[in-house]
Amino acid sequence: MEACAAPGIMVALNNEHRQLASLLDALSQQSDQLLPGREPDHGLMQDIVRYMADFPDEYHHPREELLFERLVRRDPGSVEIIRVLEAGHAEIYRRSRELLDELERIVSRGTQADGRRLKYLCDRYIGFYREHINTEEGRLFPRATEKLRQNDWAAINAGSVGVDDPLFGARVRREYRRLSQYLAIRTEKIAEDIAVAELFGVEALVESLVVAGSAMGEIQGIVGHRLRFTIRECRAIASEGSVVFEPWRLRHLPLSLAGSLRANAQAGAREVAEVLARSRDAVVEPVAIRLRYLRGLMG
């Protein structure tokens, strides 16, 4: 039988990965607030980690493991990567509980927060989870789509348990409403920042074109002025010395004419260099400012 196109469950798993990634980004943002002089929202962090400690292990990971089981039967060469991913599920659960316990001590029991330890736990957890998702999407999911057949997908679907997502589902549970609102606001802010970044990019391009066009006009003016001045000066020198001035026969000109040509050419070159230097600064600085802003947006 030919391999079939990826079924709905693969779309669902990828969508859930996007949702988990948004939570990891939100947790990373709060982790950055653990630096000296800043203050994180420990309650929000607790909500994020509570969801990630419960729901993925209740619903997301078991469906992935059904996928692993069918793929091993169809493709024995996938055993090694599946073992890595299964161990990853266990490690994610362990780290989730460790981080959640730390946050519950701070939020529920009023224990003084150890910012350095909490940031270490957060960053280690976020990094591991992101790497795990990247491995699944980059190595495992494409292999499953290629190797599994229609009856494999039917078996996976039959073994899947339908659970309404308490955060991203049709109805948000009461304990996750604050987190849901935070994610919605954060998504709107990211969209606004992207729009501003795009506007800044267009604005910088327009500024660069305007500066470049102005510089080109100035350079053309310098060249024209120097050329006219040189011709007038050379004609005057030639008239004084009773020499017929023919610019295209430079090697036959007297030394005074050649010196005048050289002096005016050097002066013109210096003026052009000054224009180019000013133009470079005028183009580079707006772009540099915008690049720093974009880096700030990217975190």
pLDDT given for residue 2 in this prediction: 44
The token pair that represents 248 in the structure block: 């295209």
The matching CATH number, chosen from 3.40.190.10, 3.30.930.10, 1.10.3720.10, 1.20.120.520, for 8-171 is 1.20.120.520
Q: How far is CA 77 from the centre of its chain?
A: 34
Which residue would you say has higher pLDDT here, 163 or 138?
138
Residues 71-105 pLDDT 10s: 999 999 999 999 999 999 999 999 999 999 999 99
Between 12-26, 77-91, 132-146, 218-232, the lowest mean confidence (pLDDT) is in 218-232
Helix (H) / strand (E) element for 142: namely: helix 141-147
- Amino acid identity, position 163: V
Residues 234 and 245 sit within 8 Å (Cβ to Cβ): yes
Is residue 154 within 8 Å of residue 50, measured between CB atoms?
Answer: no
Whole-angstrom Cα distance, residue 240 to residue 1?
99
100-114 pLDDT, tens digit each = 999 999 998 888 889
Closest by CA position to 193, among listed 290, 285, 126: 290
Least confident of 31-40, 78-87, 260-269: 260-269
Give the separation between CA 77 and CA 72, rounded to whole angstroms. Answer: 8
Is the pTM value of this prediction over 0.85?
Answer: no
Residues 279, 286: Cα–Cα separation, whole Å: 11
pLDDT-derived band at 11 (thresholds 50, 70, 90) equals confident
Tell me how long the chain is. Answer: 299
Residue 151 identity (one-letter amino acid): N
Contact between residue 176 and residue 26 where contact means Cβ atoms under 8 Å apart: no
Q: What token pair was written down for 8?
A: 């709905």
At residue 5, the pLDDT reads 45
